[in-house]
Amino acid sequence: MMTAREALEVLADHRGKHVVVTTMSAAGVWPELSDTPRDFAYLPSAMGQGPALGLGLALAKPGQGVVVVNGDGCTLMSLGCLVTLANHPADIWLIIFDNRHYEVTGGQPTAGSGHTDFAALARGAGISRVYTFADRQSWSAGAAEALGGRGPVVIWLQIEARMGQGTPAPPRSMEEQIARLRQGLGVA
């Protein structure tokens, strides 16, 4: 099993020019690895809304590619996002960090902890490109393929839980992040 940081390090090495939207605990680590106008920490966020934001960006700017790093709890809060992604094809990669806990709200086990099969859920929703990685070595070996090509793609990463943390503070104000993202996308 890998840590969230290890999973994000692999993403940083293979993201290419994709926009990266991080939510919840990933948003606290990502700025240490990447700090460009194409990085957007979606905090504060309503749990489960990251995929909708990413899809909107991908549809508005075809060819850009958007990676959304979402937690298992966030994904469970909005399972309908999988059907939506499948039925509005765009270049979007949904990375699900599965640590089997609601990490930022106190470490409670998620519903279905340990037996929810996010790959089967994604395929059942109609997404054909689905990848599962349980350790850094396999994620490193498969990241280029998983993050290449066309979307939609779901990447299920099984990671270690980090208990006792709260919601991280965003690295910048939302207004500044929006201005930087607009710059990164070449939008006036």
pLDDT digits (tens, 9 = 90+) for 132-183: 999 999 999 999 999 999 999 999 999 887 755 555 566 777 788 788 888 8
* Domain span at 15: 4-185
* Number of domains present in the structure of the chain: 1
Please tell me whether residue 102 adopts helix, strand or coil conformation.
Answer: strand
| pTM higher than 0.85 | yes
Please tell me whether residue 147 adopts helix, strand or coil conformation.
Answer: coil
Q: Are 157 and 137 in contact (CB under 8 A)?
A: no
CATH number of the domain where residue 164 is located: 3.40.50.970
